[in-house]
A and B are shown apart, each in its own frame.
Chain A
Amino acid sequence: MKTRYTYGGDEHIYVEMDDEMSLDAFFKSLSMSNAVREANIDGVTEICPANASFQVRFDPDVIAPEEMMRRVQELEHKADDAEKQMATRIVEIPVYYQDPWTHETLMRFRERHQDPSGTDLDYAARINGFDSAEGFIEAHHSQPWFVSMVGFVAGLPFLYQLVERDKQLQVPKYLRPRTDTPKQTVGYGGCFSCIYSVRGAGGYQMFGITPMPIFDPEQKVGYLQDFMVFFKPGDIVKFKPIDREEYDRILAAVEAGTYAPRIAEVDFDLDAFNADMVGTNRKLMEALNVA
C-alpha cells in the first residue's frame, strides 16, 4: 500500500491509500478520515471516506491549502496505529434476481453493453467462469458484503464482498453509462456491488432488485424515520434471494409501513477475518439468524 496525496482544486485534499481495492486500504482510509475529523482542524468543511481513498473539503480562506495538506499528512501515522475493528451491524437485504424491471431496462440499453446478444447476468457469469447465471447468483448471495463507501447518489452503498481475492467476482461497467436504472436495482461494476438508491443514470451491470427502500427523503418508511439514508460505511450486508411472490409481499409491507429489515449487532475484526474468513462469515451470518 502506498499513500498518495494530491489536491482536488483549491478546496480539496484527496488521499488515495492504495490504487487497488482491499479491506486494508478501506480500514486505513476510514481510520485516517476519522483522525482528520477528531483533529478538528479549523477550515475543514466536509470529510468523505471512500473505498480505498478519502477526501477532505476545506475553506482556503480559513486555512491555506499547503497548511491543510501538511496537517492531513501528519495524521497518517495515527491511521497506521489504529485498530482494524469496529462495532457494526449486519443487515439482510432481500433480492429478486432476474426480475422483469431490470430486464426491461437492460434490453432497452443493449447497444451500450459489451455483449448485446445476452443479459448482464449471463455476461457476468460467463466472464467469471460460471456455467450458468444461477451459479453467479449463488456466489453473489452466499457470502456477506462490506459497505466500503456511501455515495454517487443519495445513500447508494458500494459493497465489497468478504471473500478471498481469488473468489471475488469482477465485471466491467457498461461501455457507455445508461440514462436510466430502476430504483433499488442491485448492480455490479469492478469488484463492487451496489444498490441504486434512486432511479437515474448508471454504469453498473444489473442483476436484480430489492423491494426494500434505502433512501426516503420524506422519511415515511418506518426504519428511515430517524434519517433518510439507511447505509453507512462499515455496515455488513447479506443478500437473500427471493421470488416474485415474496417481492410483492415485502413491497406491500413497506407500503403499509410494517416492514422491518432483519438487522443484528456484530463486531468486525479485520485480523480475525483475514485469519479465518469462512469462520468469521459464518459467525456474522449466525448473528443475523438469531436476531
Chain B
Amino acid sequence: MSLKIVNPGLSTSIQDLGRPGYFHLGIPMGGAMDRFALRAANMLVGNPEGAAGLEAVFMGPVIEFDKTALVAVTGADLPVKVDGEPRAGWTAFIVKAGQTLSFDFLKSGARAYIAISGGIDTPEALGSRSTYPIGALGGINGRNIQAGDVLPIGEGDMIEEGQSVPVEMRRLPGTPAELRVLPGLYWHRLTEAAQDGFFEDDWAVALEADRMGYRFKGGRPLEFVAREQPFGAGADPSNIVDGCYSYGSIQVPGGLEPIVLHRDAVSGGGYFTLGAIISADMDLIGQLQPHTPVKFKKVEMAEATAARKARKKMLSDIRAHLG
C-alpha cells in the first residue's frame, strides 16, 4: 500500500530512531526529536518501536490512503480527523481505503508523530530511513515530504483499533518547561557568577528552534574566566579548538544565546559548551514552541541516571498496558 501526500503541512519528515555509528564522520544520529512519542505511536499500531513514521512540526499533513490501515498520532496535541471526523490522539484508529487523514490547528506541543501499521518503507540510508536534509540522506531523496509524494508502506499486522495510551502515561513538557542540565564539558570557562546566573535566569525558546538545535534567549550574557586564548582556538573567549559536540550539549556562541544541540546537530565545532541536557529530557525539547518560558535546572549524575530509568519505566508501562 502507499500514502499520497496531498499537503505536506509546514515541515513533515520521515523519521525512525536514527542512524548511530557515523557521528565520527559528521553524520548525526538524527531520528525522531521525541522518541518517546514515536515509540508509543508505533506500539499502538503494532509496529516495531523503531519503525519509520512521520514527524509533523506545528501543522499536520493531509494524506490519502489507498488501502485500509491502522494509524496512531502521538506527541503534540494536533487534533486528528478522518474524512473530517475527529479521532482521538494517542489512540489507534482505522483509516479505510480512499479516506483522507488531516489535522486541525495545534493545541499544545510542537511535533506530532504519525505511525501507520507496517511502517513507512522508503529505502534506508546508512541503516535508517530518517531524513537528514543537509547530508541528503534518508526520507524521499534526502528531503522532507512534498505534495504529490507517494510513500510506500510495509506489510503490517492489522491489530484491533481503539487501543489507547492513558493520559497519565503520555508525556509533554509543563509550563514553564524545566530542562535538567548536567554541568560539564567547558563549564570551567564560565565565571562563578555566570554559572549561577545561567540557572537563575528566565529563558524562552527563540525562533531558531529546529532539528539541529534549540536557541534560548532572555537570560543575561555569560561571562568567561579571563585567559589568553589557546593556540588554534580563535580569538573570541567562547571559542575552543574545534572538538566533538555531545548530543544535548549547550553551546553559547559569544556568551549570548544558549543553543541546545539536538538530533541533526553538527557533530563538532569551535564553540565552548557548558554541559548537556540529561538524556531523559531530550524528547521534551522537541515539543517546545517558540516563546515557551524555560528554566534550566542543575542536576548531578545520580539524578540524570534516575530520570533515565524513570523514562524507561514509562515506556515499559505503556508496553505492558497495550499488551
Chain B residue nearest to A148 in the complex (CB): B242
B contact face: mostly helix, strand, loop, or mixed: mixed
Given A7-B182, A60-B305, A215-B135, A51:B242 Cβ within 8 A: yes
Q: Which one of B24, B239, B308 lies within 8 Å of A151 (CB-CB)?
A: B24
Once the chains bind, are B234 and A11 in contact (CB under 8 Å)? Answer: no
Q: Which one of A14, A155, A192, A218 lies within 8 Å of B242 (CB-CB)?
A: A192
Given A10-B182, A46-B24, A149:B242 Cβ within 8 A: yes
Once the chains bind, are B137 and A48 in contact (CB under 8 Å)? Answer: no
Q: Which one of B125, B239, B246, B301 lies within 8 Å of A65 (CB-CB)?
A: B301
- Is A20 interfacial (CB 8 A cutoff)? yes
Query: Which residues on A sit within 8 Å (CB–CB) of B244?
Result: 14, 48, 50, 53-55, 151
Once the chains bind, are B235 and A50 in contact (CB under 8 Å)? Answer: no
- Is A152 interfacial (CB 8 A cutoff)? yes
Once the chains bind, are B231 and A165 in contact (CB under 8 Å)? Answer: yes
Q: Which positions 65-80 of chain A face chain B at CB distance < 8 Å?
A: 65-66
Cα–Cα, bound, A150→B26 (Å) = 6
Binds A, one of B79-87, B151-159, B193-201, B266-274: B266-274
Query: Which residues on A sit within 8 Å (CB–CB) of B234?
Result: 170, 172-173, 189-190
Query: Which residues on B sit within 8 Å (CB–CB) of A200?
Result: 134
Chain A residue nearest to B307 in the complex (CB): A10
- Is A86 interfacial (CB 8 A cutoff)? no
Once the chains bind, are B142 and A217 in contact (CB under 8 Å)? Answer: yes
Given A8-B185, A10-B308, A47:B24 Cβ within 8 A: yes
- Is A94 interfacial (CB 8 A cutoff)? no
Once the chains bind, are B279 and A155 in contact (CB under 8 Å)? Answer: no
Instruction: Give the distance to chain A from B240, nearest Cβ to Cβ, in Å.
Output: 7
- Is B90 interfacial (CB 8 A cutoff)? no
Once the chains bind, are B241 and A10 in contact (CB under 8 Å)? Answer: no
Once the chains bind, are A217 and B135 in contact (CB under 8 Å)? Answer: yes
Question: Contact mask B158-202 → A, CB, 8 Å, 1/0?
Answer: 000000000000000000000000101101000000000000000
- Is A288 interfacial (CB 8 A cutoff)? no
Query: Which residues on B sit within 8 Å (CB–CB) of A189?
Result: 234, 242, 270
Cα–Cα, bound, A154→B135 (Å) = 6
Cα–Cα, bound, A6→B249 (Å) = 12
- Is A153 interfacial (CB 8 A cutoff)? yes
Chain B residue nearest to A7 in the complex (CB): B184
Given A48-B267, A153-B135, A198-B135, A9:B275 Cβ within 8 A: yes
Once the chains bind, are B135 and A152 in contact (CB under 8 Å)? Answer: no
Cα–Cα, bound, A35→B184 (Å) = 24
Instruction: Give the distance to chain B from A72, nearest Cβ to Cβ, in Å.
Output: 14
Instruction: List 27 contacting pairs A-B, 8 Å CB cutoff, sorted by A.
Output: A7-B276, A8-B184, A8-B275, A9-B184, A9-B277, A19-B241, A20-B241, A22-B231, A45-B20, A51-B232, A51-B243, A53-B243, A55-B244, A60-B279, A60-B305, A65-B301, A151-B23, A151-B24, A153-B26, A155-B26, A155-B27, A190-B233, A190-B242, A190-B270, A217-B135, A217-B136, A229-B25
Q: When A and B form their complex, which 4 residue pairs have the shortest distance between CB atoms, in order from nearest?
A: A8-B246, A21-B232, A9-B276, A20-B230
